[in-house]
Homo-oligomer: A and B are copies of this chain.
Amino acid sequence: MGEIVVTAPYDGAEIGTVPTTDQAGIEAALDAAYGIYRNRASWIPKARRITILRRTAELIRERRQALAVAAAREGGKPLRDSLVEIDRAADGVDTCIEQLRNEAGSVIPMRVNPASSGRIAFTQYEPIGVVVAVSAFNHPFNLIVHQVAPAIATGCPVIVKPAATTPLSCRAFLDILYEAGLPESYARMVMPETHEQATAMVADPRVGFFSFIGSSRVGWMLRSKLAPGARCALEHGGVAPVIVASDADLDSALPRLAKGGFYHAGQVCVSVQRIFCERSIAQSVAEGLVQQARIMTVGDPTESDTDIGPLITHAECDRIDSWVEEARASGASILSGGGKLSSSCYKPTIIYDPEPGATVSTQEVFGPVICVYPVDNLDEGIERANSLPVSFQASVFTRDLDTAMRCYRHLDGTAVMVNDHTAFRVDWMPFAGARTSGHGVGGIPYTMHEMQTEKMMVWRSDVLN
């Protein structure tokens, strides 16, 4: 059995290893999980699941600082934000408990016509089957919680493959689950040795639900490989657009836009990327963002005052640089940033008016790069925002009721923020890509819903006539 050496993206230091999982290991994990699912006698009762999750949340809170430092080291997100990530994770486990305690099925109307006479019908929830989760690096602890905790909560055995760059936080979460009382066979981490093995695992007929966070290209490809009967949730990116109307309160907007674009070096699927400004204010917005970028500290994520840490790999840092250079070459103004600070860190970058067809205008940058585009009017801004096949979170800055409503109605997106950046998220809200940006609805209550079958009982009785 091999192993993966995990290094800190900031400085390349080795920080741990995890074993890889060979074919037999994957098979064993699938077999055990499927065995549990097919044998109701081995299901964990809901009350016991709640007990386990309560203890899980407690343990996370107890180890907050250590988990945050480890996550920051492994994933590169600044410590301040990593602490928030751990707090959110604990809160997410609470949300799982709340859902179990508060949502238990529904009553289906009967006796409303002759066909339905003499009946009462209601539903209860059942686990949908074995969950296979493939996760991403950018929130190494909380994404795992988002994919694994709902599975445990709903009673689905789960197999999770973290990003190869950030397996340690995943490992830590599973260990906490075990410590909290979860039998290990209910949640297993695997690190397949090859892409083929990973794909085969996802495509296995024993899989009931496939949860994926990552690139659109890989996600939809894996969807096409699923066995009959497998459902999926995919979470990709949105190349997030923002409209800034000429009446916007820029004092409030600028720090929010900078936060939304540079948070975790832009490595967020709803990161602010494309800002369409009414022409009269476009340059002010761009210059204001330059000021914002200037005051941000880029560097070691474990330092408490760091605003922006490294990219997850040197290759990513290089890719971003090449995209920025492409924009520059085709005539865009690079108002700030536009270069590597080190092999792992990229300067927070503001690009003014790149070509609509430029890579930075059409592909998810996943780096600390914000593009500002002047537009003649709101309609042009909306049209250009909607010109890509994605649809995720969008936002508008304005003081005007009708402008806010127009943008809400006309922007492609599953969420439109008013006077806030596109990366706003709380873990209980629906979080879903539409069009090519994703499949299903994320957010803990919604994920739990997707991981369950609503099983109806229809009770016929002559007494009910």
Contact between chains at B415 and A458 (CB < 8 Å): yes
Assembly CA distance A105 to B409 (angstroms): 14
Q: CB of A42 within 8 A of chain B?
A: no
Give the 3 A-B residue pairs with the shortest CB-CB distance, closest first: A220-B228, A104-B109, A105-B107
Q: What DSSP secondary structure best describes chain A's contact surface?
A: mixed
Assembly CA distance A105 to B410 (angstroms): 17
Assembly CA distance A82 to B260 (angstroms): 52
Assembly CA distance A461 to B113 (angstroms): 31
Contact between chains at B463 and A402 (CB < 8 Å): yes
Residues on the B chain within 8 Å of A103, using CB: 109
Q: CB of A46 within 8 A of chain B?
A: yes
Contact of A121 among B429, B436, B459 (CB under 8 A): B429
Assembly CA distance A226 to B406 (angstroms): 32
* Closest chain B residue, CB of each to CB of A119: B420
Contact between chains at A426 and B102 (CB < 8 Å): no
From A64-72, A122-130, A271-279, A326-334, the one touching the partner chain is A122-130
Contact between chains at A123 and B98 (CB < 8 Å): no
Q: Which of A445-465 contact B (CB under 8 A)?
A: 445, 453-465
Q: Mind listing 10 A-B residue pairs with CB under 8 Å?
A: A38-B386, A45-B465, A47-B117, A102-B102, A401-B459, A413-B455, A414-B453, A414-B455, A415-B457, A420-B458
Contact between chains at B414 and A456 (CB < 8 Å): yes
Q: Which of A75-90 contact B (CB under 8 A)?
A: 84, 88
Whole-angstrom distance between the Cβ of A227 and the nearest chain B Cβ: 8
Residues on the B chain within 8 Å of A227, using CB: 220
Contact between chains at A418 and B458 (CB < 8 Å): yes
**If the complex has contacts A436-B228, A462-B402, A464-B409, are A122 and B109 also in contact, measured as CB distance less than 8 A?**
no
**Could you list 6 further interchain pairs (A-B, Cβ under 8 angstroms) beyond the known A102-B109, A408-B457, A415-B456?**
A102-B445, A107-B123, A120-B124, A224-B225, A228-B436, A400-B400
Residues on the B chain within 8 Å of A398, using CB: 401
Residues on the B chain within 8 Å of A40, using CB: 409-410
* Closest chain B residue, CB of each to CB of A112: B101
Q: Which of A85-99 contact B (CB under 8 A)?
A: 88, 91, 95, 98
Q: Which of A279-321 contact B (CB under 8 A)?
A: none
Q: CB of A405 within 8 A of chain B?
A: yes
Contact of A434 among B128, B401, B465 (CB under 8 A): B128
Assembly CA distance A429 to B439 (angstroms): 24
Q: CB of A416 within 8 A of chain B?
A: yes
Name the residue in A112, A115, A208, A406 with the highest tally of chain B Cβ atoms < 10 Å from its Cβ.
A112
Q: CB of A154 within 8 A of chain B?
A: no
Contact between chains at A461 and B117 (CB < 8 Å): no
Q: Which of A397-443 contact B (CB under 8 A)?
A: 398-402, 404-406, 408-410, 413-420, 424, 426, 428-430, 432, 434-437, 439, 441
Whole-angstrom distance between the Cβ of A72 and the nearest chain B Cβ: 19
Contact between chains at A436 and B229 (CB < 8 Å): yes
Q: CB of A180 within 8 A of chain B?
A: no
Contact between chains at A459 and B413 (CB < 8 Å): no
Assembly CA distance A415 to B441 (angstroms): 24
Residues on the B chain within 8 Å of A220, using CB: 227-229
* Closest chain B residue, CB of each to CB of A217: B228
Contact between chains at B461 and A402 (CB < 8 Å): yes
Name the residue in A50, A108, A128 with the highest tally of chain B Cβ atoms < 10 Å from its Cβ.
A108
Contact between chains at B102 and A439 (CB < 8 Å): no
Contact between chains at B416 and A458 (CB < 8 Å): yes
Contact between chains at B108 and A457 (CB < 8 Å): no
**If the complex has contacts A102-B102, A122-B107, A124-B107, are A426 and B116 also in contact, measured as CB distance less than 8 A?**
yes
* Closest chain B residue, CB of each to CB of A124: B120
